[in-house]
Amino acid sequence: MNAYEYAMQIEKEGEKYYRELAENVDDVGLKKIFTMLANEEVKHYVAFEKMNKNQKIEPLEVVDVFEKAKNIFRSAKDENKLTAFSDEQIKYYTKALQAEENSFRFYTEKAKEMKDETQKNAFLAIAEEERQHAVLIENIIEYVNDPQSWIENAEFPQRNF
């Protein structure tokens, strides 16, 4: 299996996992965020698939996941739709966080091996998006632990691996 096929597998598994999370959460905001993340994984899959076939890849459409998430959480707060969460959910979200961190590291390392500048830049762009997803998931974990306080102070701090 080459790097592209492995990356496609990572993205397919990520999409599936986020869709399962979306399906199994009662919180409307989290449902929207997990669906958004699943759609992001599909976008990454398509890019890696094109690279694997030596097809031209278009620049990735950049989605500001932080701004979208802030808007989703603000709407939930304004509508007073804050949900209580179980400890079990934190385990699922921690697994998603680990997957995003691993993806970031893998894509960053593979970018260093790329000879084609376009593909190298695509790997780096996707790695950056995975880093942003990890920060978002960290914030979701904090939100699940204390929804009211988190929404009052949500700033999505940047994180380095």
Residue 16 is part of a domain; what is its CATH number? 1.20.1260.10
Number of helices (H) and strands (E) in the chain: give both, helices first: 6, 0
Model pLDDT, residue 161: 44
Q: How many domains does the chain have?
A: 1
Residue 18 falls inside a structural domain? yes
What is the spatial distance between Cα 44 and Cα 60, in angstroms, rounded to a whole number?
A: 8
The structure's pTM equals: 0.84
* CB-based contact 31:96 (threshold 8 Å): no
Model pLDDT, residue 56: 86
Residue 160 falls inside a structural domain? no
Residue 114 falls inside a structural domain? yes
Provide the CA 153 distance to its chain's centre, in angstroms: 21
For residue 140, give its domain range.
3-153
Classify 68 as helix, strand or coil.
helix
Residue 161 falls inside a structural domain? no
What is the spatial distance between Cα 109 and Cα 151, in angstroms, rounded to a whole number?
A: 35
Residue 141 falls inside a structural domain? yes
Q: Can you read off the two tokens belonging to residue 129?
A: 């998006």
Residue 88 falls inside a structural domain? yes
Residue 159 falls inside a structural domain? no
Per-residue pLDDT of the chain (161 residues; tens, 9 = 90+): 899 999 999 999 999 999 999 999 888 888 999 999 999 999 999 999 999 998 888 877 777 787 887 777 777 666 655 566 777 888 899 999 999 999 999 999 999 999 989 999 999 999 999 999 999 999 888 878 776 666 566 555 554 44
